Amino acid sequence: MQSGDFEDCGETLRHQIMTVIRDNTGGMFLLVRLYLDEVEAAARRHMMEVHETLECFQERGSNGLEHLLNLAYNNTMSRVTDQSRKPRDLALRALSWIPCAERPLKPSELMRALAVTPGIFALGPGADYKVPAVMAVCCSLITVDETCDVIRLIHHTTQEYFNQPRQGWPREAKAAFSNGHANITTVCATYLSFDTFRLPTLAYDSDDGNKKYTHDLWEW
């Protein structure tokens, strides 16, 4: 729990939050993180929902951690899909791009890809999304690995969860993941149709004497 989180909860409730989460996550750090995010989302709506969320954690208990993790992912995806249309669609595009891309993506590359709109063949100044904004709409399901400058899903179990049958998901969420590769193809085709690609811009690499394309998505 970071400084400033749940500041309106009061000391007693903050202690209860930590105790309930500690006692019902079996020591699994990822589950603790997802539970904290769930409580924080409840706190932004109403304090009564914090108590209801804690009661749900206690009812689930700490047996069957894999099942509990799936429940936590289900609740997180519900928060993603319950957003208004624009943040929801942005989150679903980001969450489907990361596992479907041919290689790990740099944050700047994903932000550029998300800014491309099929049928519009240019990007204006400042068109790229901001990393914190995208992470926020994804409800903490993605993270930036600063050691290698890569944006990725928070855990390998997140990928496993997305690979499961998507029963109960809204139509838009199912479509985003089912059509992930096709959507990437459409974005790349749009990007390569930009005016700047009519004569591909090449840059001379003085290190190895080769020319290389300077556009981010060329190799995708």
Per-residue pLDDT of 122-164, as tens digits, reads 887 778 899 999 999 999 999 999 999 999 999 999 999 998 8
Read off the pLDDT of residues 19-40 as tens digits, 9 standing for 90 and up.
999 999 988 999 999 999 999 9
Dihedrals phi, psi of 59, to nearest 5 degrees: -65, -35
State both tokens at 43.
Answer: 């706190």
Q: Which long-range contacts (CB under 8 A, 24 or more apart) does 186-190 make?
A: 186/118, 187/113, 187/116, 187/118, 187/217, 188/217, 188/220, 190/116, 190/117, 190/118, 190/119, 190/120, 190/121
Q: Once rounded to an integer, what is the mean pLDDT over residues 45-53?
A: 92
Per the confidence metrics, is the pTM higher than 0.85? no
Question: Which DSSP symbol is given to 195?
Answer: G
Quick check: 5 pLDDT over 70? no
Pairing of strands 150-153, 211-213: unpaired
* pLDDT above 70 (res 210): no
pLDDT tens per residue across span 93-103: 999 999 998 89
Q: How many CB atoms lie within 10 A of CB 41?
A: 19
**Type of residue at 177:** F
Supply the pLDDT for residue 204.
Answer: 46
Mean pLDDT (whole number) for 189-202: 70
pLDDT greater than 90 at residue 88: yes
Is residue 198 over pLDDT 50? yes
pLDDT at 214 over 50: no
